[in-house]
Copies of this chain bind each other. A is one copy, B any other.
Amino acid sequence: MRIAVINPNTTQSMTATIADAASRVANPLTAIVPITSASGPASIEGYYDEALAVPGLLVELAKAERAGADAAIIACFDDTGLDACRALAEIPVLGICEAAIAATSFIARHFTIVTTMERSRVPIEDLVHRYGMGGRCKVRAADILVLSLEDPRSNARDRLRREIGAALRDDRAEAIVLGCAGMADLANSLRAEFGVPVVDGVAAAVKQAEALVALGLRTSKRGPYASPLPKTYSGALESFAPQVILSA
């Protein structure tokens, strides 16, 4: 089984962190195929970056499907372009936020997502509501830049820890979800430190992708995820015309 794990930002070092987290939990027979988007923002912090990460992501998704991937993962916690991806591809596509929430919902009644920047809090709250967990899941921001997670001299990890402490105390969280793909390497140490389940979305999505493939389930093409209709696309995005991107 081949699972494409697509980092929808263009920062390769973050893809490496993501690939590590994915590989650590994959089944022996699962091949993790890490992919970095070739166009768009270096990190996704808010609605604007998110919207502009989608074209690059769709290109990689179409390529991965043609190359034989059995499932794809969007490795950014705002589940970038999830609906467009599901409409484009036949293979199942998973967001790491939705995968993390599903896994956590099986082991805790109330939990908290800790993300990076305040401006990402509301978009993630929107996802939480969309996934039906508005009454069970809170969202907090540690007020750190996404790329600072990779900088050992920053205080990003301390701030993250402080916010986890607040979630346990003030939200009565029973478990913590790490709200950024760039935190994927921290789950184990934080679990040990705080003594509660700490869930990383990349790892969760790998297991969900394996599950869907094993169950023989693919995105239903009946309804809003019907394949895009062939039509003219103009200008810089001409090559995104469905009949072009799907046969490229």
Contact = CB atoms under 8 A, between A and B. Distances in A.
Interface stretch (A83-91, A148-156, A157-165): A83-91
A228 B40 CA distance: 13
Contacts of A224: 46-47, 109, 119, 121-123
A113 interface: no
* Copies in the assembly, this chain: 6
Contacts of A236: 39, 55-56, 236
Contacts of A87: 46-48
Given A98-B106, A210-B207, A226-B119, A58 B47 contact: no
Contacts of A215: 25, 103, 199, 203-204, 207
A49 interface: yes
Contacts of A110: 122, 223
A136 interface: yes
A235 B224 CA distance: 30
B42 A217 contact: no
Interface in A61-118: 81, 83-84, 86-88, 92, 94, 98, 102-111, 118
* Closest 7 A/B residue pairs (Cβ): A132-B132, A39-B235, A207-B211, A51-B84, A122-B224, A174-B220, A47-B83
Interface of A: 10, 25, 27, 37-43, 45-52, 54-56, 58, 81, 83-84, 86-88, 92, 94, 98, 102-111, 118-119, 121-123, 126, 129-136, 168, 172-175, 188, 191, 196-197, 199, 203-204, 207-208, 210-212, 214-220, 222-226, 228-229, 231-238, 240-242
